[in-house]
Amino acid sequence: MKANIVILPGDGIGPEVTAAAVECLRAVAKNHGHDFQFAEHLLGGCAIDTEGTALPESTRAACLAADAVLLGAVGGPKWSDPKAKVRPEQGLLGLRATLGVFANLRPIKVHARAAALSPLKPERLAGVDILFVRELTGGVYFGEKTRTPEAASDLCRYSVIEIERVLRRAFEFAQARRRKLTSVDKANVMETSRLWRETAVRIAAEYPDVKLEHQLVDSMAMLLLTRPADYDVIVTENLFGDILTDEAAVLCGSLGLPPSASLGAGKVGLYEPIHGSAPDIVGQNKANPLGTIASAALLLRYSLNLEAEAQALEAAISATLDAGIFTPDLGGTYSTQQVTAAVLEQLQ
Ligand SMILES: NC(=O)c1ccc[n+]([C@@H]2O[C@H](COP(=O)([O-])OP(=O)(O)OC[C@H]3O[C@@H](n4cnc5c(N)ncnc54)[C@H](O)[C@@H]3O)[C@@H](O)[C@H]2O)c1
Ligand SMILES: CC(C)[C@H](C(=O)O)[C@@H](O)C(=O)O
Ligand SMILES: [Mg+2]
């Protein structure tokens, strides 16, 4: 098949990890007779430096016209002055809104050898397989912001429609998995959470085969580390999902491992690792590329409908981890390029 894939390397380690994922996608295309065309565009700090804006119009147009978008990461100390007028992260939020990708899937799978590096006890990690569905285009990220010299505010707003559509996605994923859905909120304090919970209860009637449970976000943060194998699909609002998924990455052994797929009602999906631009290791050939390569596998699955190819790439990642070919975040001595070469070898 033919596919046009937009690559947004972004900032920090973004270019290193997207280069690795593109090599893997090229290998998949070659092995399976596909024609993937790649076009690189600017997003984030690199776009601010050259275009004065974090999401240039040319990038927006290219993403809207693509079959899928693969992103590295944006941001870094160069653009982090609290008084800065434009920020790299605004470009990413603008892109998510432009593509309407309201459901951010963040699968947390535990690979035994990598998870041995986790501070958690191995018996707690056995059988962990969680799918986070993070709402991505609403909540405090997109509410009105105010600032005076004395005070600041960020509005957290959710409409019923925004809650319903992401919950439906989560119920559908739960139906195809172990049929358990945990909805995480802060309904004891927040009005948006009370609306979220009420909506979840109402929508649950449409999915009688799925067991719905509610969990407050503070205790969820604890349970994720004490009883992670109890969870199947976890659905939550934007900010809670951001925080809980970085925490969940600890179960995998490194923040460099979990991928993500952001999907909406439109045709273009956005794929990115859950980690950031890792300014502390940039340019050292140390970044773990597997989260981005696994995001490329999700791109094959969800945007291109190439399930066999997605599984082949996931198997190659798994075999690389089986062989203990680890970047330093997993306690290894292999470089970004060596890990990528190992995945490519597995793909052959
Ligand atoms: N999607 C995104 O573009 C995205 C996501 C998160 C953070 N950020 C941005 O990244 C910048 C840095 O944020 P931060 O330091 O809080 O978080 P971070 O995720 O960039 O880094 C946190 C820690 O994890 C390590 N790490 C992250 N990814 C790694 C990888 N692939 N391999 C090995 N180690 C890895 C880093 O070296 C660092 O020690 C900020 O500007 C933030 O806004 C962007
Ligand atoms: C960079 C930032 C805006 C982003 C978020 O909070 O969504 C990141 O942390 C993520 O998890 O993708
Ligand atoms: Mg985050």
Which residue, by CA, sits nearest to atom 2 of ligand 1? 73
Band of pLDDT at residue 241, cut at 50, 70 and 90: very high
Over residues 227-236, the pLDDT tens digits come to 999 999 999 9
Residue 305 has pLDDT above 90, yes or no: yes
Atom of ligand 1 nearest to the CA of 290: 31
Give residue 145's pLDDT. 96
Query: For the chain, which residues make up each domain, given as ranges?
Result: 1-101+263-348, 118-252
pLDDT bin (cut points 50, 70, 90) of residue 118 is: confident
187: pLDDT strictly greater than 90: yes
Distance of alpha carbon 193 from alpha carbon 214, whole angstroms? 11
Give yes or no for residue 242 CB within 6 A of ligand 2. Answer: yes
**Mean local confidence (pLDDT), 75-83:** 95
Q: What is the pLDDT of residue 113?
A: 87
pLDDT in tens, 18-37: 999 999 999 999 999 999 99
1-101+263-348 classified as CATH 3.40.718.10? yes
Residue-level pLDDT at 337: 98
Percent of the chain at pLDDT exceeding 70: 100
Ligand 2 neighbourhood includes 92 CB (under 6 angstroms): yes
Which of 96, 104, 255, 325 to mutate to test ligand 1, by most ligand atoms within 8 A of the CB atom? 255
Q: What pLDDT shows up at residue 141?
A: 98
Q: What is the pLDDT of residue 65?
A: 98
Residue nearest to atom 1 of ligand 1 (CA): 73
Please, what is the average pLDDT of the chain? 97
Asked if residue 115 has pLDDT above 90, the reply is: no
> How much is the average pLDDT of 12-18?
98
In CATH terms, is domain 118-252 a member of 3.40.718.10? yes
Query: Would you state the pLDDT for residue 42?
Result: 98
CA of 113 to the centre of ligand 2 (A): 28
Residue ID of nearest Cα to ligand 2 atom 3: 89
pLDDT band at 116 (very low <50, low <70, confident <90, very high): confident
Residue 160: predicted pLDDT: 98
Three-state secondary structure string covering the chain:
CEEEEEEEEECCCHHHHHHHHHHHHHHHHHHHCCEEEEEECCCCHHHHHHHCCCCCHHHHHHHHHCCEEEEEECCCHHHCCCCCCCCHHHHHHHHHHHHCCCEEEEEEECCHHHHCCCCCCHHHHCCCEEEEEEECCCHHHCCCEEECCCCEEECCCCCHHHHHHHHHHHHHHHHHCCCEEEEEECCCCCHHHHHHHHHHHHHHCCCCCCEEEEEEHHHHHHHHHHCHHHCCEEEECHHHHHHHHHHHHHHHCCCCCCCCEEECCCCCEEECCCCCCCHHHCCCCCCCCHHHHHHHHHHHHHCCCCHHHHHHHHHHHHHHHHCCCCCHHHCCCCCHHHHHHHHHHHHC
Residues marked as catalytic: 141, 186, 218, 242, 246
> Do 118-252 and 1-101+263-348 have the same topology in CATH?
yes
